[in-house]
Amino acid sequence: MERAGFLKQKGVFTRLSTYMLRHKLLYTVLLFTTLFGIVLDLTIAWLLSVITDAAVRLDVKAFKGLVIFGLIYLLVSAINGFIDRYLKNKISAKIRNELRQDMMRHTLALPQSYFDRNHSGDLLSRFTNDNQSVGNATGEVMIDLIRNPLLALAAFGYLLYINWLLALICFAMGPLMFLTGKIFGSAMRENSVRIQNNMSKITSFLHDILGSSMVFKSFSIERRLMKQYQEHSENITSEELKRGRIEGATGSFSSFLGNFTFLLALVVAGYFVAKGSLEVGAMIAFIQLMNYLVMPFSALPGLINSMQQSLGAAGRIFEVLDSPVEVNTLPEVVAKQPEFERMVMSSLSFSYPGAEKHSLNKISLELHKGAQMAIVGPSGGGKSTLFKVLLGLYEPDEGEVFINNEKISDMSLAKLRSHFAYVPQESGLYTGSIRDNIRNGNPDADEQEILEALRQANAYDFVMELPEGLDTDIGEEGSRLSGGQRQRLSIARAILRNSPILLLDEATAALDNESEKLVQQAIRKLMGDKTTLVIAHRLSTIQNADVILVMENGEIVESGTHDVLLAAEGRYHGLYYSQLEEEEAVESEQELIELASTGVPSLLK
């Protein structure tokens, strides 16, 4: 187990070094400043001994030169320190930036199944917490891991030169320090993994909650959420407290060893000075050098722990980077819209990974240029899944889809998707301006084309009334707009895309009559003479469709025009009349409310 973990970390480190090697030059300069820093550290010990000896010898003349030397030393040391810190930060920032971008490029290419399986909050945590942690490893921690043993070695060499017996006493604690690191290291590693997992859970939780403030407010579940958050937060605190205990034990144990050796060596050094076999200056230099020997050894276990934490974080990032992608390079927007004549689905079946039952079962249909096809049916019938397969988000288990006689499995995903303009149920708008959102339909669209699309989508007037017009920031997922406004912007985006087939997933959320009318008008303009495949939840909107398919349990159980299906008195007939009854009930309820609200004041008069 332990060995497997070590091998895994070794693999992660090798992987991480490919990023580090891209900055060979910076690392070389950093190595130079580090080595120079060690020389500067030893120089201080030497300077102390020279000043002390000059003082003991009452050699006043020597001080002028020593002061000048000291000032130059301070200047050089400050410059070296600046370059050293700057380079560490620069390398770490650059590697973090590269990892972030690689991760984003990879994430954008991940298949839909990845997003269905993994929580977006977990991904967020890898983009932020883990990225930060890896940055530390490639800068500060990495260099200190190299610097500290070198400093200890150099100090040991100097100590040997001063007095070999003292040097050996000091060096004897080395193995003990490593033992400390080993004892506490594995506890620290396990603790880090638990903290990272808890961080990922809390980020996922926050992501869900903060993205749906209306839900928690309307359900008044603030206390419940607070309690759940408290649990998540306390789990992290309890692990952090454990970390504090482990770090405290590691730190105090290693500084105990360090101080013990230090005192021992000091007593011996004092004894040598008293006996006259060691100069006072040499003893002062020795005390300084002791610090350089003790400090790296006592810092080493902590550094190894930090490195392990960072490698854990890097492992989580590489896990994402190793997840299979659906495309090797991010697709380009296809500038020229493809011609479309006919789409055929033949005996298409599909089950979600791990699911026992088919979500699509032997679906066959034909859609011709200009035709308007509607899909209706009970919830869970497979309507959205059909769209997902068409868009190439999932591959069918059996059967094929042909567009103009070409198998979609032989097309690039970019080419396949260029056939469709998709209007999702939930609008799918992003934080940013209206202009940016509409342009996602066609990044090359000019101002006139954007305004025209807004006009056709019945969105022009409301956008122009906003203080910042097209530049208005619509908030998270368009939260500063009404439901109907969001839908009309989503339609404008699809209009701008101008693809031959329109995939329209009608919103289930009911809009008020006025808003509904505006959206319906926009949809009609969007459909125009376009080939349309629409998932319809309100059957009243699709009575003119060329063909209506009724889907149930992944199968097409009925198909035909509105009149034919009504006459057949089958599933569609049942769905249609039950919805009609519901709508009538809602309408009469609304009439009663209106009557009540207009009637009450007149009674009061």
Query: Is the Cβ of residue 89 or residue 508 nearer to ligand ATP in the bound state?
Result: 508
Residue 128 DSSP label: I
> Residue 228: which residues within 8 A CB-CB, separation 6 or more?
205
- Cα 130 from Cα 476, distance rounded (Å): 24
Q: Which of 287, 309, 286 is nearest to 141 (CA)?
A: 309
- The DSSP element (H or E) to which 350 belongs, if any, is strand 342-350
- Which part of the chain contacts ligand ATP (CB under 6 A), choosing from 380-388, 405-413, 494-502, 590-598? 380-388
Question: Whole-number minimum distance, CB 576 to ligand ATP, in Å?
Answer: 16
Task: Supply 498's token pair.
Answer: 């101008």
Contact with ligand ATP (CB under 6 A): which of 384, 498, 543, 579? 384
- Which part of the chain contacts ligand ATP (CB under 6 A), choosing from 29-37, 123-131, 377-385, 517-525? 377-385
- The DSSP element (H or E) to which 420 belongs, if any, is strand 420-423
Question: Whole-number minimum distance, CB 518 to ligand ATP, in Å?
Answer: 23
Binding status of residue 352 toward ligand ATP by CB under 6 A: yes
Binding status of residue 379 toward ligand ATP by CB under 6 A: yes
Task: Supply 169's token pair.
Answer: 């006493």
Q: Are 572 and 545 in contact (CB under 8 A)?
A: no
Site string for ligand ATP, 116-135 (x = CB under 6 A): x-------------------
Query: Is the Cβ of residue 348 or residue 454 nearer to ligand ATP in the bound state?
Result: 348
Binding status of residue 396 toward ligand ATP by CB under 6 A: no
Query: Is the Cβ of residue 380 or residue 528 nearer to ligand ATP in the bound state?
Result: 380
Single-letter code of the amino acid located at 444? D
Question: Whole-number minimum distance, CB 383 to ligand ATP, in Å?
Answer: 4
Q: Which of 198, 223, 197 is nearest to 209 (CA)?
A: 223
Binding status of residue 383 toward ligand ATP by CB under 6 A: yes
Helices (H) then strands (E): counts for the chain: 21, 10
Query: Is the Cβ of residue 118 or residue 233 nearer to ligand ATP in the bound state?
Result: 118
157-160 own/partner pairs: CB under 8 Å, 24+ apart: 158/42, 158/45, 158/285, 158/289, 159/286, 159/289, 159/290, 159/293
- Which part of the chain contacts ligand ATP (CB under 6 A), choosing from 136-144, 351-359, 399-407, 576-584? 351-359
- Which part of the chain contacts ligand ATP (CB under 6 A), choosing from 6-14, 176-184, 320-328, 378-386? 378-386
Residue 394 DSSP label: S
- Which part of the chain contacts ligand ATP (CB under 6 A), choosing from 216-224, 262-270, 373-381, 478-486? 373-381
- Which part of the chain contacts ligand ATP (CB under 6 A), choosing from 14-22, 376-384, 458-466, 577-585? 376-384
- Cα 195 from Cα 589, distance rounded (Å): 53
∠ at Cα 65 (63, 68), nearest 5°?
Answer: 105
Query: Is the Cβ of residue 147 or residue 358 nearer to ligand ATP in the bound state?
Result: 358
Binding status of residue 385 toward ligand ATP by CB under 6 A: yes
Binding status of residue 469 toward ligand ATP by CB under 6 A: no
Q: Using the structure block, give the residue that is written with the tokens 């400093």.
A: 151
> Residue 580: which residues within 8 A CB-CB, separation 6 or more?
none
Residues linked to residue 534 through DSSP beta bridges, in sequence order: 374, 504
Binding site for ligand ATP (CB under 6 A): 116, 352, 355, 359, 379-385
